[in-house]
Amino acid sequence: MANQNVPQATAERLPLYYRTLQRLVAIGKTRISSSEFGGIVQIDSTTIRKDFSYFGALGRKGYGYDTQHLMEFLKKILYQDELSKVILIGVGHLGTALLNHNFQKNNNTKIVKAYDVDPLKIGTEISGTSVHSMDELETDDNREITAAILTVPAAHAQKAADLAIASGIHGFLNFSPTRLVLPQDAYVRHVDMTVELQALIYFLNHAMEERKS
């Protein structure tokens, strides 16, 4: 059972650990040390051991970690043993790409419906997912929906989030380049590709300058 005092940084690394363990189990790897695991995920072994220590004794000294057991444990911690239904708001280029992909490599997450304002898209299906009008969002009952993916222009992101909250949604994955103002019981993860790319360029150039000096 998850410790409620798990730091955010640790929680953010858990999906990486889980995905890596899935690959290791698939190729027949039955046990692994923290140092070997750290080399694969590119995280130092001390951090890995500390991350896992928040959940009790997951490994054994001199043995390491049982990959199958650890994968199954993280599967429960990350709620990957049940289907997570999500909706998509904004069926532009990015939204359409997400619908076409629709978590094909993850059978536990699925975009079940999408919303848009374009009358040419409303009423259609993209890779089996129906596109609804934004006018329906506020009155729809989305209390069983885990989260909403926002791929709308920045100017419309807050309004879209407000409508989603009114329909019963409390989690957001926000691709719109703007920060949202949400109630205290709502959660958001911002995915700003421009910021990430700028950070990457900074680190690359900084590393090049250090090598030259």
- Say whether 88 counts as a known binding-site residue: no
- Say whether 91 counts as a known binding-site residue: yes
- Say whether 28 counts as a known binding-site residue: no
Residue 5 burial (C-beta neighbours within 10 Å; 0-12, 13-18, 19+) = exposed
- Say whether 128 counts as a known binding-site residue: no
Name residue 25's amino acid.
V
- Say whether 117 counts as a known binding-site residue: no
For 29-33, the CB contacts below 8 A with 24+ separation are 29/67, 30/66, 30/67, 30/68, 31/63, 31/64, 31/65, 31/66, 31/67, 32/64, 32/65, 32/67, 33/64, 33/65
- Say whether 190 counts as a known binding-site residue: no
Quick check: 179 and 155 in contact, CB under 8 A? no
Specify binding-site residues for NAD(+): 90-95
Specify binding-site residues: 90-95
